[in-house]
Amino acid sequence: MIEKMWEVYENLNEIVYVSDVDTYQLKYMNRKAREMFGNVSIEQLQNSKCYEILQGCNAPCSICTNDKINVGEFYEWTYYNPVISKKILLKDTIFEENGKRYRMEIAIDMGEQQQQEQLLKSFVNNEMLVNEGLKIALAEENPEKSIISLLEYLGKAFNGGRAYIFEETSANVLTNTYEWCANTVSVQQGNLIDVDKAELEDWYKQFRQNKSVIIKNVEDIKYTSPDVYNILKPQDITTLVVCPLVYRKKIIGFYGLDDPPVDILDNVMVMLNVMANFIVSIMNSRDLFHRIVNISYYDRLTGAGNRHAMEKIISELDLSQSIGIIYGDVMELKKTNDTKGHLEGDKLILDSYRLFSKYFRKDDIFRIGGDEFVVICSRIKKEDFEKRIEQIKNEMQKSIAKVAIGHLWKPICNEKIENLIIQADHLMYEEKRRIYKEKSNKSSSESDYPFREVPLVGVHEYFMQQHSFHAEAFFRAMMHSSFGLSAFVGDLQSNIYYLSDNLRDILKTKSNMVSGLLHTWSVILSDRRTEFLNKWQYLLDNKQETFEFPYDVEIDDIRRAGVLRMDVRWNGEVPLFCTGIFIRQ
């Protein structure tokens, strides 16, 4: 029975022994006890007294606690045992079996207990470090800043010299994409671009086994890993921990910490392994963030900034500096799309962008419409600005793209940038009119204004079939032509308008169907153009249904004055259709 009970203690990690209280004869020692006291055999312990093996004495110990223990109670004390050279915590008790009294003692290695307590403490500290690191990283406004903040936090938390991330930029090349350096450590990121992955093959062998790399002294690898040594030694690195970054079972890089104290390298490794998945997650968020920014701020065809990017740049401009603005319009784009297809049209747009980007920074170029580019240059001298424009115009002579350019330069920006852009737009239209006049030698039947027109055949039917249309409003507007009024209807989503015969003749368009009518009318208004455009924008912003604007202009040396009245039809948030009448005074 008693032997059966002892089996419970056989594989316990603490020392356990049993002896006869009256004779001191050893009855049992578990595996741990037999190993600790010199690999005692079963035969040897059965023929030995407890004090002989456990204390190395020839007589009962003076420190024996038999007189202090009772059945069913534990007596706890500590003692340094010279036989095993350890301080141990002892728990003694007495139990009875078949009329005999037995002493059982359980001994716990105080060194192991302290080590376990320290390990437990390190686990708690690591958890706190992880939580604090996540808190700092997630508080940043974007993933790029999260990564940098997390590297700084790890570097400072472990008293390291440099924390960094290397990413695989191709199958065989690594680049140091992020780093944090302590004040006394030189920046290395610029020196670690396009590193041959083969030079780090010793590390990658470990990475493929899902292991991290610890270097306790860089001199230890001088001959065993010379390629790695030659990378680390010039950086004056002594200790190091690096951990693989893995996404979907593929190694995408690694990150690490240089020169943490040698006595905490294991702890650093544990921490880096725990944080690795979070680092990879932030990097994925970064890539997604970049894709979203790219979609939100850049034109997909050319890579130029879009209208949102332009508005952001405008909000950040230093208005006390000089500024140059270009407004460019890709000519014949719609005609090319209609007659040759959109692929050919795209070539015109790309070639136009190429012309601008050859002479101006790509960050300063914006595609704000299908055929419209704006260039905004801050801190540029007038001579330099105008020289670049002249170079663009000269190169345009041998380019497939022809761009009408309006530009202006100011020594300081003393008005809203948006107003300067409108002025450049106005100058562009003047340039466009000049180009059209030169091209066609301007016969009396041709328009003074650069409408994009469609063929004469079937335009009335074509408009009704292809564009946002309200029959009653359309025919009511057309009726006004019989009373000598000038009227039009328009598809606001496509920017296509059908003109009454009267208005067609006044504006001298070849067709009743044109694009960009309101924009062109704003050019005719000249000095009142900005007022007209602002009022139209106010209607759109406030979803109004009626619009009136007085006019007094000269067309073909004939003074025309009156009121433009328009009705706008909406579909929820979207302006679909409009009708308009020019009522002469």
What's the start-to-end Cα distance of the chain, in Å? 123
- CB-based burial, 285-314: b 16+ in 10 Å, e otherwise: ebeeeeeeeeeebbbeebebbbeebbeebb
| Collapsed DSSP state (helix, strand, coil) of residue 484 | coil
Q: What is the rounded CA–CA span in Å between residue 391 and residue 383?
A: 12
Q: What are phi and psi of 545, to 5 degrees?
A: -110, -10
- How would you list the strands of the sheet with 452-453, edge to edge? 452-453, 513-515, 496-499, 486-491, 574-584, 558-571, 546-555
Question: CA 81 → CA 63, 207, 515, distances in Å?
Answer: 12, 45, 101
Packing angle of the helix pair 333-340, 342-359 (nearest 10 deg): 150
Q: What is the pLDDT along the chain (585 residues), one digit of tens a residue?
A: 556 566 678 888 889 999 999 999 998 999 899 998 888 888 888 889 998 888 877 778 767 888 888 888 888 888 777 778 777 888 999 988 888 899 999 888 776 555 545 544 554 566 677 777 888 888 888 899 999 999 998 998 888 999 999 999 888 899 999 999 988 888 988 889 999 999 999 999 999 998 999 999 999 999 999 999 999 999 999 999 999 999 988 999 999 999 999 988 888 898 898 889 899 999 998 888 888 777 888 888 998 998 888 988 988 888 888 999 999 999 888 888 888 888 999 999 999 999 999 999 999 999 988 889 999 999 999 999 999 999 999 999 888 888 999 999 999 887 788 888 888 888 888 888 888 777 665 444 444 445 444 433 344 444 444 444 444 455 444 444 434 468 888 888 778 888 887 888 888 887 778 888 898 898 888 888 989 999 999 899 888 989 999 998 888 778 888 889 998 888 778 888 888 888 877
Position 99: which residue type? G
- Contact in structure between 471 and 569 (CB atoms under 8 Å): no
Give the pLDDT confidence score for residue 441 in this predicted structure: 55
Position 83: which residue type? V
Give the pLDDT confidence score for residue 325 in this predicted structure: 95
Nearest to 163, CA basis, from 43, 83, 74, 279: 279
DSSP string of 108-153, one letter each residue: EEHHHHHHHHHHHHHHHHHHHHHHHHHHHHHTSSSHHHHHHHHHHH
Give the pLDDT confidence score for residue 125 in this predicted structure: 62
Give the pLDDT confidence score for residue 573 in this predicted structure: 81
* 298 secondary structure, DSSP code: B
Nearest to 375, CA basis, from 310, 435, 321: 310
Give the pLDDT confidence score for residue 440 in this predicted structure: 60
List, in sequence order, every beta strand (DSSP E) within 386-461.
Answer: 403-410, 452-453
List CB contacts of 314: < 8 A, sequence separation 6 or more: 376, 417, 418
* 497 DSSP β-pair partners: 490, 514
* Domains within the chain, CATH numbers bracketed: 2-113 (3.30.450.20), 140-294 (3.30.450.40), 307-440 (3.30.70.270), 452-584 (3.30.450.20)
* 215 DSSP β-pair partners: 240
Q: What is the rounded CA–CA span in Å between residue 164 and residue 245?
A: 12
